[in-house]
Structure 1
Amino acid sequence: MARLSSGYLIPEIGLGVYLANGNEAYQAVLTALKHGYRHIDTASFYRNEAEVGRAIHDSGLPREDVFITTKVWNSDQGYENTLAACESSLNKLGTTFIDLYLIHAPVPETRKETYRALEKLVEERKVRSIGISNYNIHHIEELKTYAKIMPAVNQIELSPYLQRRSLVQYCQDNGIVLEAYSPLTRGEKLNDPPLVRIAQQHGKTTAQVLIKWCLKKGYVTLPKSVNESRIIQNFTVNDFDLSAEDMNVLDGLECGLMVAWNPLEWE
């Protein structure tokens, strides 16, 4: 668990459900919860909040035991729009509160009013913690000029192949927890020889090594899978450790590989 600036705890491994649709999303979440996950990361843009909510309900777990993250999409930003978007997400998820509500990306025209709405949602106790996604340093510097509540989280693409060290250091210096999406490089680097060697030394998969790297860096990590065996593997990373030498090798893999989008460069 990681402690957020809001005071709440967040499980350090969450199931990402981007591009998981319908029954596929429902089964992935149900499977993950069965095997120990207690953190699910969705978004209105993913169009699977209803399936996520139904799986959490059907798991039989108390609502308080499952940490739910969702996000307000770009076209839903703005003060009133965001309040309405959150209400829609609450209804689809079938819950009275969201653990972590994020601005999906720093849309220039609307991000200030959107963040003001997030603070209102905390006040109304519909949201416990608020944060941002795909924000760069200059976006956060701007946010500091008007925010009453600093963001608890910045969710960005991170892996040994895309380390964004200056942004990471800035967030850590400002008490903002980093969440790593696409930590498995969407499969692009799973057969990279240095990564394979480290995985073989530990008797682990390369995906498990990438997840462990994130955890060792202090990031909350959000591996995505709809395959039961991989969902289980991605969560089974507490029975090995990476040495300082391993970490040095992994840190040396930085190559600017970006497998997702890049709103960090927006104005």
Structure 2
Amino acid sequence: MSALVQSKPLPRGHAIPSLALGVFQSTAGPETYDAVLTALKLGCRHIDTATGYESEGDEVFVATKYFEVSWVPWSTTPKQPWSYQGTVDAVRESNRKLGLDYIDLYLLHAPRGALRDIGVSNFDEEQLLKLSKTWRVKPAVNQVKLHPWLARPDTVKFCEEQGILMEAYSPLVRGEKMEDPVVWEIASGLNASPAQVLLAWSLAKGFVAPKSVKEARIKENLESAKLKLSAAEMTKLGSLDAYYVTAWDPIKEHGV
């Protein structure tokens, strides 16, 4: 399964898999443990987590140790909210909880030698421009809520120009757009599911971190790497952009 998933190069020279398993809102304990273990068995080699998810401990990474994947390429992407010293402390704590010598990618600014690459989450082009005035290391990744109904073209363009890799979260729109006729038309033509079409769109933009705790869905998500959308199909999906936000938009709420 892992052979289907391409990797994206990062500034420090290593690559990160284009498809990840996100564990946001997965219940700590057996549910998260089983989801991570299933994803690893199916070939997933990228786990997207965060301090705020409260799942960096044994519930997630006992599965990793149990499966013994330390000898194959795989990546972890934790995230930490605001404050410099808080981030430094959180990096060290994440390293301890994960049982790793280093973290592959960490989403915020913390140059202390414990990380391969650093990035940001929920930054738009204006916030990135402000950050560029003081950064010593350019973010490798900007992780934002991104899907056809929330395409953020200005942010995507800025990141492309700066060489910052885009990562989408909530790429399936919390299931709220699975019945959209445009998505269904494309899915029918490709003999794919609507979810796979949405993930294929996100893959064309950067890389994604879909969440699921069910084996069939995790497998379906990984197999979306097989799909290649045509330019016409990408245009159809691009026409759906309408600033459609599920839950909240942290870019707007915490804009500076």
Question: Taking structure 1 as the reference length, what is the TM-score of the superposition?
Answer: 0.88
8 Å contact from structure 1 (residues 157, 260) kept in 2 = no
Name 1:254's counterpart in structure 2: 241
Name 1:243's counterpart in structure 2: 230
Of 170-179 and 81-90, more deviation after overlay is shown by 81-90
Shift of 1:239: 3.3
Name 1:222's counterpart in structure 2: 209
8 Å contact from structure 2 (residues 121, 143) kept in 1 = yes
Paired residue type of 1:7: G
Shift of 1:245: 1.9
Listed one character per residue, the Cα deviations across residues 90-130 of structure 1 (whole Å, up to 9, x for unaligned) are 12212121111113xxxxxxxxxxx3xx12x2xx2x11100
Name 1:108's counterpart in structure 2: none
Paired residue type of 1:60: E
Name 1:110's counterpart in structure 2: none
**Among 9, 13, 16, which residue is 2:22 paired with?**
16
Shift of 1:131: 0.4
8 Å contact from structure 1 (residues 135, 154) kept in 2 = yes
CA distance in 2, matches of 1:58, 1:259: 35
**Among 2, 11, 32, which residue is 1:5 paired with?**
11
CA distance in 2, matches of 1:248, 1:148: 37
Name 1:46's counterpart in structure 2: 53
Name 2:102's counterpart in structure 1: 97
Instruction: Give the number of equivalent residue pairs.
Output: 246
Runs of 4+ in 1 over 3 A off after TM superposition: none
8 Å contact from structure 1 (residues 54, 94) kept in 2 = no
Listed one character per residue, the Cα deviations across residues 133-177 of structure 1 (whole Å, up to 9, x for unaligned) are 001122111211211110000000111111000110001100100
Within 5 Å, give how 1:1-267 maps onto structure 2: 1-21=7-27, 22-50=29-57, 51-62=59-70, 65-73=73-81, 77-103=82-108, 115=109, 118-119=110-111, 121=112, 124=113, 126-217=114-205, 219-265=206-252, 266-267=255-256
Identical aligned pairs, as a percentage?
A: 41
8 Å contact from structure 1 (residues 5, 175) kept in 2 = no
CA distance in 2, matches of 1:36, 1:173: 32
Q: Which runs of 5+ in 2 are unaligned?
A: 1-6
> Residue 12 of structure 2 aligns to a residue in which SS?
coil
CA distance in 2, matches of 1:53, 1:27: 11
CA distance in 2, matches of 1:35, 1:24: 17
Question: Taking structure 2 as the reference length, what is the TM-score of the superposition?
Answer: 0.92
Shift of 1:56: 1.2
